[in-house]
Amino acid sequence: MDEITMTVNGRQRPLQGATAHTTALDWLRDTGLSGSKEGCAEGECGACAMLVATPDDNGGTSWTAVNACLVPAAALNGQEIVTAEGLGSPDELHPVQEKLAEAGGSQCGYCTPGFACSMAGEYYRADRAPAAAGDEVCEEHGPNGFDLHALSGNLCRCTGYRPIRDAAYTLGSPEADDELAARRSRPAPAPMPTDFSSGGGRFIRPASLSEALDLLHDEPTALLLAGSTDLGVEVNLRGRRAPLVVAIEQLPELRTLEIGEEFIEIGAALPLSEVERRLDGQVPLLAQLFPQFASRLIRNRGTFGGNLGTGSPIGDTPPALLALGARLVLASAGGEREVDLADYFTGYRQTIRGADELIRAIRIPLPLARVTAFHKIAKRRFDDISSVALGFALDIEGGVVTAARIGLGGVAATPLRAYATEAALVGRPWNVATVRAASAVLQSEGTPMSDHRASSEYRSLMLGSSLLKLYSSTVIESKEVSA
Amino acid sequence: MSALADRPANPVVGLRAVHESAALHVTGAAMYTDDLAAHTAGVLTAWPVQSTNAHARVTVDVAPAYDVPGVVRVLTADDVPGINDAGIKHDEPLFPSEAMFYGHALVWVLGETQEAARLGAEAVKVDYEALPSYITVSEAIAAESYQGIARTVERGDAAAALAGAPRVFEGVTEFGGQEHFYLETHASLAILDSEGQYFVQCSTQHPSETQEIVAHVLGISSSQVTVQSLRMGGAFGGKEMQPHGFAAIAALGAKLTGRPVRLRLNRTQDITMTGKRHPFQISWKAGFTEDGLIQALDATLTADGGWSIDLSEPVLGRALCHIDNAYWIPNVHAYGRIAKTNKTSQTAFRGFGGPQGVFLIEDILGRVAPVLGIDPAEIRRKNMYRPGQSTPYGQLVKDADRLEAIWQRLVDESDFDERRAEIAAFNAASVDTKRALAITPVKFGISFNFAAFNQAGALVHVYKDGSVLINHGGTEMGQGLHTKMLQVAATALGLRLDQVRLAPTRTDKVPNTSATAASSGADLNGGAVKNACEQIRERMAKVAGRLLGVDERDVRFEGGLITGLGKFDESLTFAEVANAAYLQRVQLWAAGYYRTEGLHWNPDLMKGSPFKYFAYGCAATEVEVDGFTGAYRVRRVDIVHDVGDSLSPMLDIGQIEGAYVQGVGWLTLEELRWDETDGPNRGRLLTQSASTYKLPSFSEMPEEFNVRLFENAREDGAVYGSKAVGEPPFMLAFSAREAIREAVGEFAPAGHSVELGSPATPEAVYWAIEAARSAGSASVAATSPAADASAEHDPTGASAGSAPAGADVPALATTEA
């Protein structure tokens, strides 16, 4: 077995002393790079954020901020990463560090290295552009084009965030001699096939999809790993030590995005941030979903395949994809099959996916419904788990609902289609009477439970309320159009 | 010595300074406790075995842990050479034979790696003999499970005043605790050095007390233990009492193995093991005149102290001393007691009971204003203290006129009246979305109620080359204390800020220090640093006077140069005078000391003047509430706050903003939920991670956030005329809660009293909106006598809980006298 090495802050370092389960954060700290902090060990606080060199669309590199606490160190074999220590030093601060320090953006300083990395990721985003004079500055964007959502996965308990925002919004653009900026014009490191065993665990990165499928065929208990935003939490908080992990997130067949005549096909292991950027609003329902899905740090690693693969009833992509009528392409060594997402979930964290199958792609049928919305009810607006989530996709022609698909999350052991509500809408006029009646039906869909996030009564009421809110917004929009 | 509050010409205090460690913070170079551990060779890791029962006698079999490769030692009660206790009240066994809450650490495993220690802890076998447990305050009250001493604050005759008041309201106000969620969890690193000295680097706000606990657990003297608090990644009160036991575990491990031991709780351990803000349940009765003047308040406050007493008594004391907030209440009877429950031992948290006391009066005013038909802003303003009035515990409200001045300035600068008119127009046109703008004041007493804590020490060295190294007893948790102390030293010695350095806080430099708490860090340690610097300056002035040919009284220190009055063409550098002083055998270092003068407090009577002064402020918050979901946004916040003459304006504004957002978190978002069922996990904290316990993120940052400092605000009783800032602004967040209440009221007809669950999560707000809407439909239906009767006479339904049933229960009983 070849030695595993990573390039950290421009220096090659061997993966010494780590096991197959060791997170990148623990490994970094063990090598003496203690700038990255553990605040939560579940990808919620961002104190461990680091930058990873990932491929962009043009053969170059993006600096992508991710949570080091969730990624297995072995998954970074051959990759390049940058931590706060690599951005700058106390005597020679990086521009984001200089702005943060000057603005009073650090108080206790514990979250700060992570903020610096998240900010640097956005600083180096190739398509970040200052708003032109006269442009309307969109919400949560600075005049310099800085998207505040880049920091949605970083928590600070001291400042109240205002100085951090001010620091972010006054950042300029990288100077000509900025090495990290220059690095973007060269290709990102290629995926490195890996087979690493240590500490009672084995981590494999197969070289190809067929190799991955053969492996799954031979080792049906293998755990598939994409962004590791779910498994990382299991490893850290619940001590899960899977004997065999197979990483598939760098397989090219799982990273496609094609807009065809009949459907849009999205590779199951394409990070959600990438999907968001490449779709660029072409699927309005997903454009509404993405900013509400966890945080940018998570979306930079998290994938559709992972969110569907875990089968969680409170994942946020299923309600949206159910509303879009999405179909999944399941691949195994024996071939591929396509299934309707509505038939995919069979029970609590159970699906029809066979042990030898992986989700290769998601297909969203075209044309898209004309009235769509994604509603997420949660305690906190950024980066929270849904109490309930709803995806709506309706066609309304001549004032009559001609088609309806509604996806629900958080109301049962699996994500659900709200078939009864759909039936109560289709063929009826899109008016208050229809919506009130359908809202009452929607309110009784599923069997939500009470827990620390919300009561069952509130969850049910929010289902009904959500349809009323959707109706209200379509009425307001039509008024705005006519006016 | 110059007067405490006087500033020399061109002082360094008052300048905008960045945090002294900012460059280290942003580059990851700043070291925290566990970072030092990561750089320590041969270090062992400690891991707890936690109880899975809320209350039980335990029998622990540690033998299986030794079968796990890499396990070095399991620490148990038998290993303790000194006192098996983690606190100062001797009710917190470090290794308990009785688990007092779900999550209680029973024994600790030391491993070569964290993985080994964790697996070793998993292997330990625990047998539980279950005992009865109390999880909620109501359960504790029903069982009369109390701890500590109950206290009463009393003035006038509340019963008689209530009997004679034209309008009397009563209710129950109940609210939850708050997890500190400092980003750095509890951490200690203990090393036994070659000379037999224990060195403990600990994330502690109270190094001297940590030192004392380590010493008594090990059965050695304080002089054998050195505790250092390099810096903390946040503390907020959570590291005032709670770190001691963890430091003792690490030190005990170092003693028994001879190797360095690190102990860092992970987030789940920290949140399930350590204390939080005290939840309170308060039943109350308040009398008002028809035009809204408070006549009397009678209240019973029950604080949920958790399993041990910790700081619950002083927290309760401060709550009782803040039920008036900024308002004159002529007749008061407030009785406070501490429930003992099988939960984490609740502890200090920013405000230290103050927010809980303020909660009561703001809740009362917010609930009664609509019933009295008075604008909530108006009822607050007319009840504010006037000069000459005193608090229920008998202290004159010094500078009470600042309240009205700050209020007026805020109203002017926030365009309060114009925006209210705009909001009224918006609400008239909007059915499903409502807005409101609310204003609330804060008055917060500064000084430790426990008089002995109001002292501090410092150690200042001037070296021959003129460089300066200062040390003081306060700890840095992000509040910028060290930066302020550097500014104080530079001011006192007439130096530039960059000419002064600061060394980490250690018990072998300054002994017998007080906790850095009660917002008093800068007041106390600043006094001590200034004192030390001035001793040295006076000695150097004698030397400089001789060199310059002027009397020592005519020597001036400014900007790193030393001059004599009238000697326009002559100046000496600080280094030249320092070197001359050394050669003349003049002492160039000094120990500084400070004690706050004039405080007195009788805890038995709850009477006296425990506070040196009061900090004041007002906030105006505008919110928008969504009638479909109960979700809300904070649209704009304006604050005018009194920090005296600021020592460091950017740091002070940072404290105000951070405290406000943290307060909004407590009041609207952060929810601790415990398993209250009789199931197998009774007493387990359900919100025990960052994914289930949500603290404010960027989405809770006010869209527009204007913070201004009250000007010309010199406080004679504090260093360089400044005031404490850490805690008081936390209570400015009540303006957000009251704005949500007023916005909810917009869904109801006028006169509807809005009862808001706490925290006011979207769900709680939604239920309040539902109640408001049904009040509307009830009033349209007009005249159900039954409904009216229940509203008049049922005082029992006034719980502020968020249960959906609460929507049907009359919130506020009112009786006409």
Q: What number is the average pLDDT over the span A5-24? A: 95
B501 touches chain A (CB under 8 A): no
DSSP state at residue B174: E
Q: What is the DSSP letter of B712?
A: S
Q: Can you give the pLDDT at residue A133?
A: 72
To the nearest 10 degrees (0 to 180), the angle between helices B416-429 and B401-413 is 50
The verdict on a CB contact (< 8 Å) between A158 and B654 is yes
- Quick one: B54 exposed, middle or buried, by C-beta within 10 A (0-12, 13-18, 19+)? buried
pLDDT of A408 above 90: yes
Rounded CA gap, A37 and A47, in Å? 5
Tell whether B232 is within 8 A of chain A (Cβ): yes
Inter-chain CB proximity B669 and A380 less than 8 Å: yes
Fold of B22-28+455-595: Aldehyde Oxidoreductase; domain 4 (3.30.365)
pLDDT, tens digit, 9 for 90 and up, residues B708-741: 999 999 999 999 999 999 999 999 999 999 999 9
What is the C-alpha to C-alpha distance for residues A83 and A88, in angstroms, rounded to an integer? 9
Residue type, A189: P
| B632-641 and B704-709 beta bridge pairing | parallel
User: Does B32 contact A at CB distance below 8 Å?
Assistant: yes
- Convert the pLDDT of each residue in B342-367 to its tens digit: 999 999 999 999 999 999 999 999 99
Which residue in the block uniquely carries the two structure tokens 């702005």? A99
| Rounded Cα gap, residues A32 and A144, in angstroms | 35
User: For testing the chain A interface, which of B15, B24, B27, B621 should be mutated: the one with the most A CBs within 10 Å?
Assistant: B27
Q: Quick check: B322 contacting A, CB < 8 Å? A: no
Q: Which chain A residue has the Cα nearest residue B33?
A: A34
Q: Residues of B numbered 616-635 whose beta carbons fall under 8 angstroms of chain A's beta carbons: which are they?
A: 626, 628-629, 631, 633
Range with lowest mean pLDDT among A138-147, B281-290, B438-447: A138-147
Q: Residue B350's closest CA among B671, B12, B23, B664?
A: B664
Q: Which of A297, A310, A215, A220 shows the shortest CA–CA distance to A268?
A: A310
Q: Find the CB nearest A109 among B25, B662, B763.
A: B25
Give the count of alpha carbons within 13 A of A363, CB side only: 15
What is the phi/psi pair of residue B196, to 5°? 85, 10
- What 3 state SS string does A319-388 have? HHHHHCCCEEEEEECCEEEEEEHHHCEEECCEECCCCCCEEEEEEEECCCCCEEEEEEECCCCCCCCCCE
A-chain residues within 8 Å CB-CB of B27? 35, 84-85, 87-90, 93-94, 97, 113, 116
| Domain extents in chain A | 1-188, 252-365, 371-482
Residue A3 binned pLDDT confidence (cut-offs 50, 70, 90)? confident
Residue B472 half-sphere exposure toward CB, CA atoms < 13 A:
34
Task: Report residue B179 CA to chain centroid gap.
Answer: 11
The strand pair at A263-267 and A11-14 is best described as unpaired
Q: What's residue B807's pLDDT?
A: 36
What percentage of chain B reaches a pLDDT higher than 70? 95
B500 Cβ neighbours under 8 A, 6+ residues apart: B468, B469, B470, B486, B489, B490, B493
Testing the interface with A: which of B479, B698, B732, B808 to mutate, by most A Cβ within 10 A?
B698
Residues 172-211 (B) with a CB less than 8 A from some CB of A = 180-185
Chain A residues within 8 A of B725 when measuring between CB atoms = none
The sign of the CA dihedral B23, B25, B27, B32 is positive
Residues B145, B83 contacting (CB under 8 angstroms): no
- pTM score: 0.96
Looking at chain B, the whole-number percentage of residues with pLDDT higher than 90 is 94
Q: Active-site residues of B: which are they?
A: 727
Distance CA A85, CA B728 (A): 36
Of A41, A93, A381, the CB nearest to B27: A93
Please write the tens of the pLDDT for every residue from B612-657: 999 999 999 999 999 999 999 999 999 999 999 999 999 999 999 9
Q: Which chain A residues have a beta carbon less than 8 Å from that of B694?
A: 379-380, 384
Tell me: domain A1-188, CATH 3.10.20.30, correct?
A: yes
Strand, coil or helix: B338? strand
The residue to which tokens 């402020």 are assigned: B617
Instruction: Measure in Å the smallest separation between the Cα of A353 and chain B Cα atoms.
Output: 28
What's the pLDDT score for residue A16?
85
Cα–Cα distance between B175 and B171 in angstroms, integer? 13
Asked if the interface predicted TM-score (ipTM) of this complex is over 0.90, the answer is yes
pLDDT digits (tens, 9 = 90+) for B683-715: 999 999 999 999 999 999 999 999 999 999 999
Element (H, E) at B294: strand B294-304
pLDDT for the residue B172? 97
Quote the pLDDT of residue B536.
98
Whether the predicted pLDDT of A79 surpasses 90: yes
Q: In this predicted structure, what is the pLDDT of residue B412?
A: 98
Helices then strands, counting H and E runs in chain A, come out as 16, 20
CB-closest option in A47, A85, A380 to B699: A380
Put simply, whether B805 touches A (Cβ < 8 Å) is no
Q: Does B608 touch chain A (CB under 8 A)?
A: no
DSSP assigned state of A149: G
Average pLDDT of chain B is 94
Q: Is B599 exposed, middle or buried (0-12, 13-18, 19+ CB in 10 A)?
A: middle
- pLDDT band of residue A475 (cuts 50, 70, 90) is confident
Give residue B812's pLDDT.
47
Among candidate residues B374, B161, B167, the one with its CA nearest the CA of residue B814: B167
Task: Report the gap between the CA of A412 and the closest CA in chain B (Å).
Answer: 19
Nearest-neighbour CA in chain B from A199: distance (Å) = 10
CB contact under 8 A, B763 and A387: yes
From the CA of B633, how many Å to the nearest CA of chain A? 9
Q: Which residue in the set A41, A90, A100 is minimally distant from B24, CB to CB? A: A90
Yes or no, beta carbons of A155 and B628 under 8 Å apart = no
CATH number belonging to domain B384-447+600-746? 3.30.365.10
Pairing of strands B433-446, B225-229: unpaired
Q: How much is the pLDDT for A292?
A: 95
Q: Top-level CATH class of A252-365?
A: alpha beta
Tell me how far CA of residue B497 lies from CA of A102, B178, B321, B524, in angstroms.
16, 37, 39, 20
CATH architecture of A371-482: 2-Layer Sandwich (3.30)
Interface test with B, best of A51, A85, A107, A388 (most B CBs within 10 A): A107
Q: Within 13 Å and on the Cβ side, how many CA atoms surround A271?
A: 22
Of residues A309 and B780, the one with the higher pLDDT is A309
What pLDDT does residue B449 have?
A: 85
CA distance B307 to B319: 20
Bridge partners (DSSP) of residue A339 are A328
pLDDT over 90 (residue B571): yes
Contact B38/A40, CB-based, under 8 Å? no
Arithmetic mean of pLDDT, A438-447: 97
The mean pLDDT of B794-806, rounded to a whole number, is 37
Chain A residues close to B687, C-beta within 8 Å: 452
pLDDT at site B444: 98
Segment 503-532 of chain B within 8 Å of chain A by CB: none
Residues 672-691 of B with CB under 8 A from A: 673, 686-687, 689-691
Cα–Cα distance measured from residue A397 to residue B245, given in angstroms and rounded to the nearest whole number:
69
Q: Using a CB-CB distance cutoff of 8 angstroms, which residues of chain B are in contact with residue A96?
A: 26
Residue B780, pLDDT score: 47
Q: What pLDDT, on the 0 to 100 scale, is given for residue B591?
A: 98
Mean pLDDT, range B596-601, rounded to an integer: 94
Closest Cβ–Cβ partner in A35, A457, A468 for B804: A457
Furthest-apart CA atoms within chain A: distance in Å: 69
Whether residues A109 and B22 touch (CB distance < 8 A) is answered with yes
Residue contact B18–A111, C-beta within 8 A: no
CA distance B806 to chain A (A): 13
- Cis check: omega of the bond before B759, within 30 degrees of 0: yes
Any CB–CB contact under 8 A between B429 and chain A? no
Pairing relationship of beta strands B433-446 and B613-626 according to DSSP bridges: antiparallel
User: Between chains, do A162 and B701 touch, taking CB under 8 Å as contact?
Assistant: yes
* Cα→Cα distances B367→B167, B371, B376, B436, B733, Å: 13, 8, 9, 15, 17
Which of A93, A154, A159 is opposite residue B658, by nearest beta carbon? A159
Regarding beta strands A327-332 and A358-365, do their DSSP bridges make them parallel or antiparallel, or are they unpaired? antiparallel
- Read off the DSSP letter of residue B189: E
Q: What per-residue string of b and e applies to B313-347 under the rule 16 or more CB within 10 Å gives b?
A: bbbbbbbbbbbbbbbbbbbbbbbbbbbbbbbbbbb
CB contact under 8 A, A34 and B694: no
Among B531-540, B648-657, B767-776, B780-789, the minimum mean pLDDT is found in B780-789
B28 to chain A: nearest residue by CA?
A35
Set of chain A residues whose Cβ sits within 8 Å of the Cβ of B767: 458
Q: In angstroms, rounded to a whole number, what is the distance separating the alpha carbons of residues A328 and A425?
A: 27
Query: What are the sequence ranges of the domains in chain B?
Result: 22-28+455-595, 384-447+600-746, 750-811
Distance from CA of B255 to the nearest CA of A (A): 25
Chain B positions touching A37 (Cβ under 8 A) are: 32, 183-184, 233
pLDDT digits (tens, 9 = 90+) for A280-335: 999 999 999 999 999 999 999 999 999 999 999 999 999 999 999 999 999 999 99
Alpha-carbon distance B168 to nearest alpha carbon in chain A (angstroms): 34
CA atoms of B614 and B406, how far apart (whole Å) = 14
Q: Count of CB atoms within 10 A of residue A385's CB?
A: 20
Q: Tell me, what's the pLDDT at A476? A: 74
Query: How many CB pairs below 8 A link A and B?
Result: 258
Counting every residue, how long is chain A? 483
Is-same-fold flag (B22-28+455-595; B384-447+600-746)? yes
Residues in B touching A380 (Cβ below 8 Å): 669, 694, 696-697, 699-700
Contact in structure between B435 and B426 (CB atoms under 8 Å): yes
- CA dist., res. B254 & res. B45, Å (int): 11
Do the Cβ atoms of B27 and A89 come within 8 Å? yes
CB of B142 within 8 Å of any CB in chain A?
A: no
Q: Two tokens at A38?
A: 């553990």
Distance from C-alpha of B464 to C-alpha of B264, rounded to nearest angstrom: 41
The residue-averaged pLDDT of B51-61 equals: 98
Nearest CA in chain B to A472: B432
Q: Indicate the average pLDDT of chain A.
A: 95
CB contact under 8 A, B18 and A102: yes
